[in-house]
Chains A and B, each alone.
Chain A
Amino acid sequence: MDHTRARSGVRDLHPSAGLRHPGGQPAGIGRGANSRQPSDPVPEINTSRLDTILDQRFDELLAAWIVEQLQDFRRGQISESDLRAQCAELLQAVRRALSEGGTTNIASQPWAAARDLLTRVSSQRAQQGFAPSETATFVLSLKRPLFDALRREANDADTLATDVWTVTEVLDRLALFTTEAYLRSREDLITRQQEDMLELSTPVVKLWDGVLALPMIGTLDSSRTQIVMESLLERIVETGADVAILDITGVPTVDTLTAQHLLKTVTAARLMGAECIISGIRPQIAQTIVHLGVDLGDVVTKATLADAFKLALSRIGLSVGRARPATTQAPAAARASSD
């Protein structure tokens, strides 16, 4: 009887409890109106038994846990002393949470310390390049030592089953929480890098009076194209440029969509009275463009930025010539040319 009630009580706590944001809603939100109160007696008994085991066998558990982790850890990513400190801290936090709160709901207040620690460890591991499974293993590897300890303590199968369930529940929730924290820190990183890339990759440089160059780096999607187009048009107004060179050396692939975006930019610049030259077309890209049947219309294309620049200068009526013999030439050659 005890057993079945314990299970139903446990299940009652379950909805989304393990998936809460740290410092999110207090325990109890999201549960049905007719659900049990947090003072449900059965889980309390279980956690207090667990608490006793943690108290009495703390050092033994910690040692076994660390051994468990060192077995399947990739060496060199984290020092053993760091790992030991993290394990001790987490086990301490779990013990405190169990003795204070007597609840397995890790979204509740007593578990705040454990949650903070896990968030910290996860983001640290995300930065160190750990896999998500490795990060979750940090918590899950505690299962075997705890189960061993429980087995040694247990008197009957019923109690053991209940306790094992409680431990599994707590640890699974902690592991889920860890994985989530890991993903969150990775997503933050990705978002930050995306923003950096957008800023970095759209410079408009002035090559000469009336000649602008736009070295494009990275994949051209619609949002990028929008930014590129706007900054190019603004610079055309600012500098009064007649020619703009779109250099696509840094664009890895060109498909029909990318070509369409390029043509849009060219057309917009033309509407502003500036001629566009597309440069930096690599051999493979030239092949792709033809195979895809992309019609670049009457847009001038050049293989290299240098060729495009030469054409741009001639369009604004300038040409590059040698003012005097190059300094690298031998004196004899210089003399010969002056004769």
Chain B
Amino acid sequence: MGPVLLVSIQVDLHDQLALSLQDDLTNAITTHGSKGVLIDISALSVVDSFMGRMLANIAGIARVLDAVTVVVGMQPAVAITLVELGLSLEGVRTALNIEKGITMLRAAVAHRDGPLHVMGDADDAD
């Protein structure tokens, strides 16, 4: 998706998988020069403190590499668990679904370095 990377987590991440995702994503941001990362965790039903920290780490790494991270599609149970674990994911942007996430990314990047064209210019009409 050009300047935006979409990561959709479809399986329950065990620790090793999470670490390799972090590696892959870091490399992908640098090779594509991405301005935004969208992480869809709508299929994630189980979350632990490691997972929470990993999301925060990815956001931190992306920020260092000049990309905005938005986590979308968190389920209510996951949100409550994270709060009870004391992980509020400070510094990570969140949105309800992919659509809103894209809008948010676009706004955030536009605010930073001018308009961003995602998914072709036809979208700019709306």
Residue ranges of A at the interface with B (Cβ–Cβ < 8 Å): 226, 229-230, 233-234, 236-237, 240-242, 264, 267-274
Contact = CB atoms under 8 A, between A and B. Distances in A.
Nearest to B81: A268
Given A229-B80, A236-B76, A267-B83, 5 more contacts: A236-B96, A237-B75, A271-B79, A271-B83, A272-B79
B88 interface: yes
A164 to B, nearest CB: 62
A234 B74 CA distance: 11
Contacts of B116: none
B80 A268 contact: yes
A268 B83 contact: yes
Contact of A233 (B80, B88, B94, B97): B80
A230 B80 contact: yes
- Find the residue from A240, A264, A267, A269 having the highest chain B CB count within 10 A: A267
B72 interface: yes
A83 to B, nearest CB: 55
A240 B88 contact: no
B49 to A, nearest CB: 14
Given A230-B76, A237-B76, A273 B83 contact: no
Contacts of A237: 75-76, 96
Contacts of A241: 96
Contacts of B83: 229, 264, 267-268, 271
Interface centre among A230, A242, A270, by most chain B C-beta atoms within 10 angstroms, is: A270
26 contacts: A230-B76, A230-B80, A233-B76, A233-B79, A234-B76, A237-B76, A240-B96, A240-B97, A240-B100, A242-B96, A242-B100, A267-B88, A268-B80, A268-B82, A270-B88, A271-B71, A271-B79, A271-B82, A271-B83, A271-B94, A272-B74, A272-B76, A272-B79, A272-B96, A273-B100, A273-B104
B109 interface: no
* 4 A-B pairs with the lowest CB-CB distances in the bound complex, closest first: A233-B76, A273-B95, A273-B96, A271-B79
Contact of A271 (B88, B97, B104): B88
Contacts of B82: 268, 271
B44 interface: no
B118 interface: no
The residue in A229, A241, A267, A272 that gathers the most chain B C-beta atoms within 10 A of its C-beta is: A272
